[in-house]
Each structure stands twice: as C-alpha cells, then as structure tokens.
Structure 1
C-alpha cells in the first residue's frame, strides 16, 4: 500500500458513491439524543437499520428531523437518560438492541425492547449480565435475549468486567451510557472482539464532549454531559469493501472519496488484505483507491478478527485466487445476522468450490464457480459478497433474496452495475424489496 498527498480523486478512476457508515450513523444518533440541544448529522446512512434506530430513539424521547432530502438529520436530544414508559422496536438492528438498553437504564421508568426473530436470535446475555451487575432491573427472554424488560432508576456506575467475546457492541453500548451514570464507569473487557469498533465509539464520544481515558487496558469514562455536535458521516468502509474487491478481481479501479488516512473505521484495513492479494492500493488524506493487478494472488493466511465484517468479501472472491486463502480469528462472525462462516462455506460449496472451515476459520481453494442459487439467509453481507463473485467470475449466481441489501445499502446492485456494467442487476432487487 502507498500513501500520497491529498487529492480529490485519482485521475481517470471511477468514483464509487458509497453511503454513510452505519456504525458511525447509529453511534452519532445515540450521542446526539443524549446531548441537550440540537446536533446535525450530515450525509448519514439512510437504510433499514438506521431508520429503525431513528424510530427507536423517538420512542425514547429524542426529536428528529431533516434539513434537506435526507442530506442532514437534525437531532434534538434530551440531555439525560430517557423517561419511560416506552416500548422500543429494534427491527433487525443489532446496534439498537445493544446500544439503547444501557441508555434507557440511565433514565427512569419501564422500557421494553424487542426486535425481529433474527435479532432475537443474536446474543444479548453479556449485556444483560452487565446491566444487572450495575444495578439495573432487567428481565430478558430465555437465553438472555430479546424481548427485554428494563425497570430503570438511573445507574450509579462503578467498575465492571464485561464478557465481550461475542460482540463489541455490548461494550460500546455501556461506554456511551457511562457519562450519564452518577459516578462514571471503569470497564475491563479482556476477551474483546472487534476492538476497532470500540475505538470508533470512544472517538465519537470525545467529539460529543465525553471524558474517556484508557490505562492498562481498562477504559474509564467520567460522569458529565454530552454536548450537541455537528458531524459529517464518513462513507461506510465495510460497504466500500465490495467495490474495492470488485476492482481487484476485474482489473479495474475504484476510488472512494471521504475514506482516507484519518478514517475512524477499522474496516478500511481491508485494503491492506487486498494489497497482499496483489491489488494496488493508494490511500491519501481524503481518498482510497484500489486497482486490480495481474489476477488475484492467494497462498496466505490472514487474521480478520478485528475486521470480521469484511471477511466474507475476501472469502467470496478467494476462489478466483491462484492459491488457497485461509481466514482465521472470526469465530464471533457465527453470531451475526447469520452464522457467516457457515453461510459462506455452504454457498461456496454449492458453487462447486472446495472449502474447509472450523470454529473460527475458513480456507477457500481456487476453482471456477459453477452456476448456483445463493442462499442469503436475510444477511446483506452474504448477498453483497457473492454479487462480487458473480461479477469477477462471469458465472451467473442467483441470489435468493437480493433485496436484503437494503439493511445497509438499498442502491447496492445499481451502483455495482454503474461502476462495472458487466454486473447484471438481479431481478426482485432492493427497489422491489422496499
């Protein structure tokens, strides 16, 4: 990878129109709701998950509006923990199910959180346990998941060790609520997965006025008030991974403005993996460009635990490499919208590709995919990843649920076709889904 002086875009390279980061949008929404006054979030992601998160915040008392056609969201916060009673529908949004209960626990009243069957199946036990030990009265469904009933009377805070071996979102939710506790919070998460997402949370909290320190691996958040903040949301680095991968497997090029050396998103590190696979990568202060080389190079083993939302992108294009590719450190990806290791392995095998997988790893061998029907399991990242394999291989792969991409990028198929006209927009895509 090379780093250059800033420029707007690389000359002659197609520019991808990547929507705002889901992770940044939903964190900023919560922090703005917790602050007094009005914050403005520019270029937010407008998708199923972020709209669900917005709606959930209005149930908790925040007021949200727009300044222009979804280009800027205005959030008038409540400046404290929310007041119940409230019923909060989280839909499919894992961030809503993990971030909003700690926020509600700093307020007063009764709150009931629920979501889709897909979200109910995702783990919430670590969060429920942490809130209980901090003094909240929480009653969860069998297995520690949603629906969750919370009797809130504020939180004192204190010191706590959190099991974050299945999701870093538990930690982020507790951290964002911490300034609203009476005495602040010191948190230790020795088995933390996806650390870059916690770093993102801390960076945004500081932007909204929180005082956060780290020492010997322990995070200390002091009590205080958030302040309203205007923020421009970066393009989503996880979503950008599909377009970067498309460039790598077609020999083309893609530039994404707004993602550069100062990005808050750990998933931008995916371009380092593509560089190892033979792509040419250039990162400036304000852009990232990927250009395909002379085919995809395999023969390497990579730990993608910190950027696990992009492991599927690599695994899906790995059959096009000249040697096997092994990805490890991704065991927690089995507990996302789907069992993502199993979903990738099963779909690659359906395409006739040789795959070996284990509890936290997958090895993909080279091979030309055969036409197949891809089972998306209502998981947007499975649909997007295998769309790139279809493009790169030239083999027709039929997605059983192409519209599930609306969770994070309703216009995904159209944008991939615009940049790479060889990609055929699937029938019954997201326009019909919506």
Structure 2
C-alpha cells in the first residue's frame, strides 16, 4: 500500500523563511498545508512578504532583508498606540522561534504572541541570545510569549546558546544569520535533536548561504544573504512514522514515496527502531517501505535512545504494549516541553488503557499488556492523537477526546488511516 503523506512541516516552514529572506521569487512545490504552516505563512505576510498560491505550489517573493515595521499611529492623546507590528504565531512553535531573529535583522518594533499552549513553551534562551547580539528584547512571564523585539539590524558575533530545551532556538538564529552584517558563530550547549540542525544547514546552503562547522561543535554563518531557489518539499518523516508503525502492528506493507536515502529528515530513522521490533524495512533512493510480520507481532525487551528523533517516541510508546517484552525509550527529557508534557501525557494515557508504564525525567518504559477501552486525552497535541490512533488499529474501544487536533500537521490523517486500513478498527469519534 502507498501512503499519501503530506509535505514536511519542518522543511516547509524553514523554506518559507529562507524564501522570504532571499532576493527573488522562490517556488515551493508540494508544501504542507496545515494549521502550523498556514500560521507561519500568515505571519510572514504580516511582515510584508508576498506569498501566492499557484496550483500545488507557493510562490514567495523575497525581500532580501529583514522586515521593516510600519510607522505606528498614535492615540487621541498623542501617545504611542502600541507596537509597530503584531505577529500572531497561533500554536506554531516554529513561528515563535524562527521569526523573532528574522525580525531582529530588520528595523522597528515587533510583538510576537500566540495561544495559551504556545505561551507555555519556553523562549528564554532565544531572547537572551538576541539580546547578546544587540537587539532589545522583552518577554512575558517565565521568559515566554508575548515577546517584543525592537530591532535595528544585527551585527553578528560569537555566542553560546542553551540548546537543552529545543534545537529550534539554534535554527532560528542560523536561518537569519546571513542577514547580519558580520559572521555569526554559535556554540550550542547540550544540543538536542541534532538532525534538525543538519536539515537547517542543508536548506540554508540550498539558498546560497556560506556555513562552516567546527570541530568543537560551533557553527559559523557568514553574511551575504540568500538567493531564491525553487524547492520540492519531501513528505513529512514524522507523519510517516504513524503509517510505518501501522504496517508493523497489522502485518501489512506500507510505502511512502519521496522519502528515501537522500532525505534530510532525521525522523526517518524511526524505521530503524521498527526494524528492532521485527519489522522488515527497505529504504531506496526514492521510497521507504515497512512490512510487518504476518501476525503483527512485535519484539520488545530493548532500550533505545530516541533523543535525536523525539517527535517519534510517542509512535513507539503507543504500540509498545503489543510487544513481547518491555520497551524503554531514553534521551527524551526535552519532549516534556513540547505541545504538552509528552512523556507524562503518554504515560497517563497508557495507564488509562491498563498498561503498566514507568517514567523518569527523560525516559519512559512500557510493558506488554492487553489494552482495555479508554478515552485518550490528546492535550491538543497532534502527535498524541496520531500515535494512539495507530494502537487503535489493533485495539477496539479507543476514543480520542480531540481528534481534530491532527490538523496542526495533517488535517487528512484520519481519512488516510481509514483508506489504508479499511478492515481494521479505528478510534471512535473521528
């Protein structure tokens, strides 16, 4: 079976910013159309970037520079009526972390804000880095949104960045570094999710950036801007994980075309974890195929560090009760600071299903068991909803309290799951 997996969110939003910062018109083919990417696109248009749709592509007319906020109006008393530019990030963490550095390379005053869920996610390391580079930055309570940037360009420099919470702070700085007037060197302390940085650097080079990686882990980006460069967005490897896992637990075969050995997405490494459970995996230059054992049996009894592919640990944890031994996932402490406390949320949902589950600050252990009917608390987290939907293919009586939250990255997820597995059980209420 061939799964129709939409474009990568990570690539789409990075490419949108790169195209916006470039000189010329970029055509992004097959971008992901979801809540997060539309929020990112809308935020960019609010910053003065022209983006149009042509068939299945988005055409981005780059500004070749950082954004310039419009002169602000005054109120009836002649006082400043508010910030020059307000940027709504909705639920999109990439918008809140990639766009402030972009704004800081421009001129004016910008206020970034988002939903309560996004306000709960930390931004302090990014705010501190921008301050060190010369921007005037203020944050909301706890170093989170709303975040205000008063900008007059950035000159670059040499900084150390706390990257233990998220790699997105580093990505945000790197993406906008070519717009600075001098080289930027960043030393990322306790970096998590390194494959996303590799993706970022590869995309930056695609748009003409000059980057250097040093032996001590530091990264230097030289000034010079970007040049428009068309790009076809490959399927989302994180989203593909659900369909690959579904193949493993149903004993069927699923192929995702366009996701192969040349992929820049680290989350394709999830199929190697599935290989440890006994699934057959084939990766070619043009596609990846996972085939489960005929009886859907999974091999357990192993530990796996998923720190570099933490967006997929929930996929494994949700199907782990079907294995013949316990499965322990380590290295995922930073997942507690995503859309939800993902370790805690997954553990509580598994316990609601009657599965013996243990958790620590940066790990989770799931023991074999027969899941009982229960409602899954999604916490408005698309990945929780999708992961437990896969378990629902083998377990009747699973319901989701918020099935629509999958729209964050794949609005058509439930329809595609039903299309591929019409004879299997699916979570109720979708």
TM exceeds 0.5?
Answer: yes
- Provide the rounded CA distance (Å) in 1 between the counterparts of 2:425 and 2:355: 22
Q: Which moved more, 1:347-356 or 1:394-403?
A: 394-403
- Provide the rounded CA distance (Å) in 1 between the counterparts of 2:214 and 2:401: 48
2:383 matched to 1:398?
Answer: no
Cα deviations across residues 403-423 of structure 1 (Å, max 9, x unaligned)?
000000000000001101134
- Maintained 8 Å contact 2:400/2:428: no
- 1:11-410 alignment to 2 at 5 Å? 14-68=1-55, 71-84=56-69, 85-216=84-215, 217-293=217-293, 294=295, 295-391=297-393, 393-410=394-411
Q: Residues 18 and 97 from structure 1, CA distance in 2 versus in 1: closer, same or farther, beyond 3 angstroms? A: same
SS state at 2:358 partner: strand
SS state at 2:144 partner: coil
SS state at 1:386 partner: helix
- Maintained 8 Å contact 2:397/2:427: no
Q: CA deviation at 1:81?
A: 0.6
SS state at 1:198 partner: helix
Cα deviations across residues 338-358 of structure 1 (Å, max 9, x unaligned)?
000001000000000000000
Count the aligned residue pairs.
Answer: 413
SS state at 1:155 partner: coil
Q: Which moved more, 1:169-178 or 1:394-403?
A: 394-403
- Maintained 8 Å contact 1:416/1:423: no
- Maintained 8 Å contact 2:389/2:427: no
- Provide the rounded CA distance (Å) in 1 between the counterparts of 2:254 and 2:409: 20
Cα deviations across residues 9-36 of structure 1 (Å, max 9, x unaligned)?
xxxxx10000000000000000000011
Q: Which residue of 1 aligns with 2:81?
A: none
- Provide the rounded CA distance (Å) in 2 between the counterparts of 1:423 and 1:329: 33
- Maintained 8 Å contact 2:320/2:326: yes
SS state at 1:254 partner: strand
Q: Which residue of 1 aligns with 2:79?
A: none
SS state at 2:371 partner: coil
Q: CA RMSD in A?
A: 0.9
TM-score by length of 1: 0.94
TM-score by length of 2: 0.95
Q: Which residue of 2 aligns with 1:6?
A: none
- Provide the rounded CA distance (Å) in 1 between the counterparts of 2:311 and 2:225: 32
- Provide the rounded CA distance (Å) in 1 between the counterparts of 2:429 and 2:384: 16
